[in-house]
Homo-oligomer: A and B are copies of this chain.
């Protein structure tokens, strides 16, 4: 079904489409590529091209069945099943993520929290204890952790990423502002807030100079 490599831009848009469809209360309705495009800041042709990578599940003349497309998008994005997540780093960022309701509601279930600060180890967040990093690899392997959210200082990020891979993790959401060096079989997504702010100040600076 999936013919070639899917561009990252397409994956991001698929996520948007799914979000839009979840807004539709009306079950059993249909939606056109035109409507999806309007909600997703893109074009109808782009919506159709994005979806066409995964098969053809629209009806010509009618559009897409909302329920069906939503289910299909969930399958494609892999969110039709729960994911076991470990939070590495119980600081402010970790706490914000841990309490972010959207994660759990989309099937990302935090099953373990780790920190290297002896003050924090043993504390509870919700019903989860904060583990020491001593037996990190064994613990995440035992708990069958698939995704790691890496919210530790840059200095320890590479080391913890390596250990997470060692423990069998398949993907890492990395908040540390460094490029992780890990095997290509493990997927990494970087969230770099300073970079986002710099993109803002760049754009503003450019527009000021331009005019």
Instruction: Identify the A interface with B (CB < 8 A).
Output: 2, 6, 8, 11-12, 14-16, 18-19, 39-41, 76-79, 83, 92-93, 95-97, 99-100, 102-103, 106, 108, 146-147, 170-173, 177, 179, 185, 187, 189, 191-207, 209-210
Contact between A201 and B92, CB atoms less than 8 A apart: no
15 contacts between A and B (CB under 8 A): A2-B209, A15-B192, A16-B179, A40-B179, A41-B179, A92-B99, A97-B193, A100-B193, A146-B204, A147-B200, A172-B200, A187-B204, A187-B207, A191-B193, A191-B196
Bound Cα distance from A18 to B201, whole angstroms: 14
Complex interface: chain B residues within 8 A of A102 (CB): 177, 193-194
The residue in chain B whose Cβ has the minimal distance to the Cβ of A206 is B2
Known contacts A40-B179, A197-B108; decide if A206 and B92 are in contact (CB<8 Å). Answer: no
Instruction: Knowing A19-B177, A197-B173, say if A78 contacts B6 (CB, 8 Å).
Output: no
Say yes or no: A198-B79 contact (C-beta < 8 A), given A92-B96, A209-B2: yes
Question: Which of B40, B79, B196, B207 contacts A189 (CB under 8 A)?
Answer: B196
In the complex formed, the residue of B with least CB distance to A92 is: B96
Contact check: which of B2, B99, B194, B202 meets A11 at CB < 8 Å? B202
Q: Is the CB of A201 within 8 A of B96?
A: no
Contact B76 A202 (CB under 8 A): yes
- Contact between A201 and B171, CB atoms less than 8 A apart: yes
Are B77 and A194 closer than 8 Å at their CB atoms? Answer: no
**Known A12-B195, A12-B199, A92-B95; further 20 A-B contacts with Cβ < 8 A:** A6-B202, A15-B199, A16-B195, A39-B179, A76-B202, A77-B201, A77-B202, A77-B205, A78-B198, A79-B198, A79-B201, A92-B100, A93-B96, A97-B193, A102-B193, A146-B204, A147-B197, A171-B204, A187-B200, A189-B197
